[in-house]
Every structure is written in structure tokens, then in C-alpha cells.
């Protein structure tokens, strides 16, 4: 059986819940060929990556999938790329607010995801759940996290990607959203498509 480390974030930006961790929690412990290890992580620059990389070093997973909330998006958006840039329009959960700093000083400008995001996206969309490939994970903690992971596991057998998910109905009245169960189903389909 292969090993998958899958993470979701704690709430941030004044929200009471984060659909990313709520959806990860709903997933079965085994999906397809993968046994899942689930981890809730803080919305803090640097710290989130440190926690995930430490856990991954310990369990040596075949794949790492990090999930985060992208409020305002209409569908499930696997991320194709991570950039070496931190710019926060709101402080993280420890009050850090970088303005145009690198994630990794002297690191590559960008890394591509090493899991098959296009195939994962197509599988989700074929099931009828809105999904499209995203070409920017932003410049906040989510991008920082996946940049660090792709940097750390460059040229190794540990493959990784990031998946952004929309709000759930409990968080908003007027912004795009998807039911939590639908988000969890989409993650399950994405994992099966690896």
C-alpha cells in the first residue's frame, strides 16, 4: 500500500472553520492504493511548511497533498505551480505579514507540481463537480507551503501538489461555495486519479 500525507489548514482571516481541514477529516483512511495520514496545520508562514516536511521526512510518503481554502473560487482548483514569493494582504495567524520576500532566498523562481494535476482535475470535472487547473496558488501561506515542499522534495520519489477549495455554504451567503461533502468527494476522486 502506498502512503499519502494529506493536510488541511486551521481557520484564518476571521473565519470560524476552514473547509480544507473539514473535508480532509471526512476522507476515508484508505483511498485506492493509498493509506492516508491526515494533518491539520497552522496558517503561519514557514511554520506550516516545517511541520509538513518534518512529518513527511518521518513517514516517507509517496505523495503529499496539501489542501487550502480559496474563498471566492467557484470550483476545486488543483494548483499547477508554486512561486518563490511571499506577499500577504492580511497577517497570518501569528501576525506575520511579508511584503515581497522570497519563500526560499536564492531558490528557483518557481516549481511545477509533481503530481498529475491535469489528470486529477479532469477526473473531478468528469464526475460533475466544478474543477479547473489553477496557475496561481497566490502569494500567501498556501503558496509558501507548496513551494517549500516542492523545493525540499525536488528530484526525489515524494510527489506533491496543492489543491484549493471554495467556501462551504456555512461560511457565506453571497459568495460561491460547494457543500463540504462535495469537496471531500472531489478530493477522493483526485486521489484515485493519481
Task: Look up 161 and say whether it is catalytic.
Answer: no
Task: Look up 40 and say whether it is catalytic.
Answer: no
> Which residues on adjacent β-strands are paired with residue 9?
41
d(CA 103, CA 100): 9
Nearer to ligand PCA, 3 or 11 (CB): 11
Find the catalytic residue in 142, 148, 161, 188.
142
Nearer to ligand PCA, 1 or 100 (CB): 100
Phi-psi group of 51: left, alpha or beta (phi > 0 → left; psi -120 to 50 → alpha; rest → beta): alpha
**Cβ at position 43, least distance to ligand PCA in Å:** 4
Task: Look up 164 and say whether it is catalytic.
Answer: yes
Task: Say which residues have a Cβ less than 8 Å from residue 152's Cβ, sequence separation at least 6.
Answer: 49, 53
- The residue sitting closest to ligand PCA, measured at its beta carbon, is 142
Binding site for ligand PCA (CB under 6 A): 9, 12, 18, 20, 43, 68-70, 138, 140-142
Q: What is the DSSP string of 164-182?
A: EE-B-GGG-SSS-B--HHH
Contact in structure between 141 and 43 (CB atoms under 8 Å): yes
**Cβ at position 33, least distance to ligand PCA in Å:** 27
Query: Which residues form the catalytic set?
Result: 79, 142, 164
Amino acid at each position: 500500500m502506498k502512503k499519502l500525507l494529506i493536510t488541511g489548514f486551521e481557520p484564518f482571516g476571521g473565519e470560524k472553520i476552514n473547509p480544507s481541514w473539514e473535508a480532509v477529516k471526512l476522507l476515508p483512511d484508505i483511498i485506492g492504493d493509498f493509506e492516508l495520514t491526515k494533518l491539520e496545520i497552522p496558517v503561519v508562514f514557514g511554520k506550516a511548511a516545517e511541520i509538513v516536511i518534518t512529518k513527511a521526512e518521518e513517514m516517507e510518503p509517496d505523495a503529499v497533498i496539501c489542501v487550502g481554502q480559496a474563498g471566492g473560487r467557484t470550483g476545486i482548483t488543483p494548483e499547477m505551480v508554486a512561486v518563490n514569493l511571499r506577499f500577504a494582504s492580511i497577517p497570518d495567524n501569528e501576525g506575520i505579514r511579508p511584503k515581497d520576500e522570497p519563500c526560499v532566498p536564492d531558490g528557483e523562481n518557481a516549481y511545477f507540481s509533481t503530481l498529475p494535476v491535469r489528470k486529477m482535475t479532469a477526473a473531478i470535472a468528469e464526475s460533475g463537480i466544478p474543477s479547473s487547473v489553477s496557475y496561481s496558488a497566490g502569494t500567501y501561506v498556501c503558496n509558501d507551503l507548496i513551494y517549500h515542499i516542492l523545493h525540499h522534495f525536488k528530484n526525489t520519489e515524494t510527489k506533491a501538489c496543492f489543491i484549493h477549495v471554495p467556501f462551504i455554504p456555512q461560511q457565506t451567503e453571497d459568495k460561491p461555495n460547494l457543500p463540504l461533502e462535495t469537496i471531500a468527494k472531489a478530493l477522493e476522486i483526485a486521489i484515485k486519479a493519481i
